[in-house]
Structure 1
Amino acid sequence: MTGSNPEQPRSDSELPPAGWYRDAATQTIRWWDGEEWDTQDNPDVSGTLPPQSLPPRDQQSVGRLQQPSAFWDFVLRWRRIIIAAVALLPVIVVVAGFAANSRDEASYQEGWDDGVRYGETARALISAGGGGLTTAQVDSNCLTIALAAEGDYDIDDYQQGCLDGAYSVLE
């Protein structure tokens, strides 16, 4: 308040700066943000704060402080969630990469073994004058072999094993 007229409100330039101030009425200290009282009271156990007089805390100023507080609680909660998600992202990418690149070793090995047998047979036929094989023929024959083993093995891994085994013999 300015002057001796209690009806006249203080101007912003006359308000004390933000800080902790003693409330003589409740023997607690309260946070003053420079315009309004905070909603929290803290017991003044230190006794080191200077006695200062501030405008009384009213319910209107308390209500105005609760809204930003709830908003910032919401923002900080989501900020933590986003930071955690970003921190976990590399782990998720690595795990997903291993899962995507994993193969059924039993299917691959069985395909490899059949591919090697097919490659040896094809090489014997080529050596006997039966002509050459194209890549498309090798791919097609390995697919046919893989489809025949469909119930017992993963087709993609089996076919890849067959191709690798056949080409290891034919090259």
Structure 2
Amino acid sequence: MRLLGLDPGLQHTGWGIIEAEGNSLRHLGNGSISSDSSLDLAGRLVQLYDGIEKVIGDWQPDEAAVEETFVNKNPVSTLKLGQARGISLLVPALHNVPVTEYAPNKIKKSVVGAGHAGKEQIHAMVNMLLPGCKIQNEHSADALAVAICHAHYAGTKKSLKRATQMAGGKP
């Protein structure tokens, strides 16, 4: 299963693509989409939209996962981040790619084992879980962590669904 992880941000939206087969994970690609801060908000959102469109067109993911908004002290920043997140949710959905959202602490716990892990710990574990991966920047590292988290939870969800079906329960 090919998974797209997205770490939304108005200035930089990180993306990471992994392949998950059973417990095996393989890095396929990562990067970030940047918006031009000299543009108005609408123009910047179009840049994010176009960038995510290209990633989906290039990689054809089966599923996507997006990090939930972390509430900032600055409400204007939070609102802008929410709009960037909206683009991160919208583009995969327009391509009929199922999208799941994960809280930052759930991502950290899934990848590192601790919900309050630092960025350095997350990036080190991403490198360990995806050997040979050349991480482009901190945004793409975070996006790969989102994809890894989704691989863990999506696999569990599918196993439970199969077990329920075999036991004669509803899917």
Same-fold status (TM-score > 0.5):
no
- Larger Rg belongs to: 1
Q: With CA pairs under 8 Å and 6+ residues apart, which has the higher RCO, 1 or 2?
A: 2
TM class, shorter-length: under 0.3
Task: Select the structure that is richer in strand.
Answer: 2
> Which has a greater percent of helix?
1
